[in-house]
Amino acid sequence: MSSVAEEPYREGLEGVIANETAIANLEGREGSGGLEYRGYRIEDLAGNVSYEETAFLLLHGDLPTRAQLREFDSRLRASRDLPAPLVQLFREIPETAHPMDVIRTSVSVLAHFDPDVNAPPTDHAANVRKAERLVAQMPTAVAFRERIVNGNAPIAPRADLDHAANFLNMVNGKMPSPTMSSAFDLSLVLYTEHELNASTFSARVTVSTLSDLHSGIVAAIGTLKGPLHGGANEEAWKVLEEVGSPENALKWIEDALAQKRRIMGFGHRVYKTGDPRSRILKPHCAALAAEIGDDRWERIAEPIEQIVTTQKHLPPNVDWPSARLYHYMGLDIDLYTPIFAMARVAGWAAHIIEQLDHNRLMRPRARYIGPPNRPVKPLDAR
Ligand code: SDX
């Protein structure tokens, strides 16, 4: 083993291989942009499988048969309800609390009421059951808090609705259009998994100490919140609001780049020639804009996307189109990242389970650059 002084230091762990995984591949076949979930190209999954099928793929290793999907889906629908104390807590938490902080708290509270809470952390079957329950419960938690904090009664989950439509109905109090529901389901599929991004890495480090699945998910939510990661979809919407009108777009972006501002929703640590998820989502933004009869935001977004892509060579990432998509669905801005979290929970859980199935404690080293060795002076001599 070489010494700490000899090992290369890569700031932000850029390019460091910290895990092996069978869950997602960002180096997929040429031309696919690279993203594959357990060998399936994201372009082939998108629009052809539901979020439920995607979550099953990640948690159980392959796409479900019709019988497997029926059983999985009925387990999810039966697990959507929340323990009463958590619903009461939504009424006590200050209104000013950000929904990402509330969903982080929610997962912590849900752990106390999970029937497998005392299972050994490496109990694979128990971890899959815990993961399935969180996939089902997190949308209810996000929706219930949203309703309560806006002075409305929570709307109970409906067993006759699929994952996407049920969430939109719980939040908006009305059934989404088929276009809206399928676009939302697609966004969940695209958000589900993305290899060793910061929040997934955080989850894996947490459980590598043999801590439990819920602790790993709480750590991941706290990590996802940051604007350099999941919080970017909320910030991307604020960019569009700040621009305000299509006529203002060119001047705004030229000024922003001149001021060296970081344009949220653009750039990626891994994708340097574009995020396939952004390309897949973009046409759905235009379709929903047409459905609601307001293409203003598309006409604001396009020149910004063109300029940042061509002048900064920073293509849009998944957060750039998803911000507009969620606006068209009537969702409040501060729900955008919680939605990312409730989709990604299946990916986080799959990585946690993979880590615990074949674990080694993660403990990197740091290179010391502080003061050289020196004697301790008595207090009065300092
Ligand atoms: C997600 O990792 C994943 O897989 C994450 C994710 C997932 O599914 O889990 O894909 C989800 O987090 C997507 C990314 C969302 N974040 C944003 O949209 C925030 C804005 N983007 C940036 O902050 C940035 O692009 C990152 C954080 C995404 C990646 O940054 P890196 O690889 O650390 O690159 P960097 O910050 O070192 O920037 C390199 C250069 C810098 O310029 P110089 O100082 O060298 O002149 O590129 C510039 C940066 O200033 N730059 C940008 C920019 N992103 C990078 N300049 C303007 N706007 C930007 N968005």
Q: Per CATH, which fold does 24-226+341-357 belong to? A: Citrate Synthase; domain 1 (1.10.580)
378 C-alpha vs ligand 1 centroid, how far in Å? 48
Portion of the chain with pLDDT greater than 90, in percent: 96
Q: In the block, which residue shows the tokens 């997602």?
A: 24
Q: What angle do CA 68, 71, 74 make, to 5 degrees?
A: 145
Give residue 73's pLDDT: 98
For 293, the token pair is 């009869």
Give residue 5's pLDDT: 84
Which ligand 1 atom sits closest to the C-alpha of 318? Answer: 13
pLDDT band at 2 (very low <50, low <70, confident <90, very high): confident
Which residue minimizes the CA distance to atom 59 of ligand 1? Answer: 262
List Cα–Cα distances, 20 to 16, 25, 30, 232, 345, in angstroms: 11, 10, 21, 27, 19
Portion of the chain with pLDDT greater than 70, in percent: 98
| Residue 123 among the catalytic residues | no
Which residue minimizes the CA distance to atom 52 of ligand 1? Answer: 262
Answer yes or no: are the C-beta atoms of 81 and 141 closer than 8 Å.
Answer: no
319 pocket-lining for ligand 1 (C-beta < 6 Å):
yes
Give residue 51's pLDDT: 98
327 C-alpha vs ligand 1 centroid, how far in Å? 23
| Residue 319 among the catalytic residues | yes
Which residue minimizes the CA distance to atom 55 of ligand 1? Answer: 267
The average pLDDT across 287-294 equals 96
Which ligand 1 atom sits closest to the C-alpha of 261? Answer: 57
Mutate to test the pocket of ligand 1, among 16, 188, 266 (most ligand atoms within 8 A of CB): 266
Domains 24-226+341-357 and 232-328 share a fold: no
Which ligand 1 atom sits closest to the C-alpha of 26? Answer: 4
pLDDT for 31 beyond 60:
no
CA distance 317 to 321: 8
Please state the domain extents for the chain.
24-226+341-357, 232-328
197 C-alpha vs ligand 1 centroid, how far in Å? 12
Of 279, 289, 343, 344, residue with least CA distance to 315: 279
Give residue 169's pLDDT: 98
Mutate to test the pocket of ligand 1, among 317, 319, 345 (most ligand atoms within 8 A of CB): 317
pLDDT for 32 beyond 50:
no
Which residue minimizes the CA distance to atom 58 of ligand 1? Answer: 262
Instruction: Report which DSSP code applies to 313.
Output: -
Give residue 99's pLDDT: 98
The rounded mean pLDDT for the chain is 96
264 pocket-lining for ligand 1 (C-beta < 6 Å):
yes
DSSP, collapsed to helix, strand or coil, labels residue 349 as helix
Its CATH class, for the domain covering 232-328, is mainly alpha
pLDDT for 86 beyond 90:
yes
Q: Which of 163, 214, 268, 351 is catalytic?
A: 268
For 158, the token pair is 């409906």
Give residue 30's pLDDT: 56
pLDDT for 348 beyond 70:
yes
pLDDT for 221 beyond 90:
yes
Cα 25 to its chain centre, rounded Å, is 17
Prediction pTM value: 0.97
321 pocket-lining for ligand 1 (C-beta < 6 Å):
no
Give pLDDT tens digits for 303-337. 999 999 999 999 999 999 999 999 999 999 999 99
**Burial classification of residue 86, based on how many CB atoms lie within 10 Å of its CB (0-12 exposed, 13-18 middle, 19 or more buried):** buried
Which residue minimizes the CA distance to atom 56 of ligand 1? Answer: 262
Q: How many residues does the chain have?
A: 382
For 328, the token pair is 């068209």
CA distance 88 to 257: 46
